[in-house]
Amino acid sequence: MERWIESNGVRLWCETLGDAADPAMLLVMGLGAQGTSWPDDLCEMLRAGGHYVIRYDNRDTGLSGRVDYAARPYTLTDLADDAVGVLDGLGVDAAHVVGASMGGMIAQEIALQHPGRVRTLTAIMSAAAAIDPQSGTFRGSERDPRLVAWDARQVTDPPTTDEQRIQARLDLARILSGSLSPFDESATREIIAREFLRAGDMTHTMQNHILAVMASRDRSELVSSITSPTLVIHGTEDLMAPFEQGRALAAAIPGSVLVPIEGMGHSLPAPALARIASEILRHTNRVGV
């Protein structure tokens, strides 16, 4: 069921799947990505596992409201407040919170700021470290040369048409895909094109997310105070958030569990979805709610 919720001064799109009487699971997506970027198959597995699944568009993505960042700057803590507002709007007291990439960073902030709202925490391909403004990557890691080259192309030869923007996103997806399965160019292009059709060109608003991440605090030491049972899922071939970031995040949160997925990059590939779903469901079942 689709609906819109006013949260933290922004109108947010969200979709729910399953029975509202079941334990809620909030899915938080990453930088510039729409809530619909959570694969339908993964959402169905989580619903079939007994959860009321909630996915939503962060501010400045998808069908949710846009913000003038210069007039109203925000950080990941504000995005965490947005997410809690979604729970408020749906009448959910607490949820299993699952975040991917920047969404995993938002999920950490939810657990830090609103611990009573988080039954369990799952961070997928995420990190606690801040971004180094010089290198453009997480402190403690080096940016892969392939990403450096892609970044440079966006500056020297920026895309100006939708087709060029789709191609740039496709090129990035190929770089980030990992070796777990062959890169499916046609299927990925279709997904990206569908996102453009749904919400238009997101280049400008994606920049807001980059600014928000850069302005946000380093959580490397703060996450040691997280009390929610925590699962960290990370691909061993992640170029955007290198595997050592996932290892460091798991090491910093007391009692957390690290699940490496061999060959997975910075993506949610179809061959990994059943494993990811089973690990999340095993994690949430441990707490019995």
Its sign, for the CA torsion 238, 78, 128, 120, is negative
Q: Domains (ranges, CATH) in the chain?
A: 2-286 (3.40.50.1820)
DSSP SS3 for 100:
strand
Q: How far apart are the first and last CA of the chain?
A: 23
Of 35, 89, 104, the residue nearest 64 (C-alpha): 35
Residues 127, 113: Cα–Cα separation, whole Å: 17
Residues 190, 194: Cα–Cα separation, whole Å: 6
Amino acid at 251: A
User: Per residue of the chain (289 residues), what is the pLDDT tens digit?
Assistant: 999 999 989 999 999 999 999 999 999 999 989 999 999 999 999 999 999 999 999 999 999 999 999 999 999 999 999 999 999 999 999 999 999 999 999 999 999 999 999 999 999 999 999 888 777 788 888 889 999 999 899 889 989 888 999 999 999 999 999 999 899 999 899 989 988 888 877 777 788 999 999 999 999 999 999 999 999 999 999 999 999 999 999 999 999 999 999 999 999 999 999 999 999 999 998 875 5
DSSP SS3 for 239:
coil
Annotated catalytic sites, by residue? 101, 238, 266
Sequence-separated (6 or more) residues with CB below 8 Å from residue 186 = none
Beta-sheet strands, E only, within 29-132: 52-56, 95-100, 118-124
CB 273 within 8 A of CB 41: yes
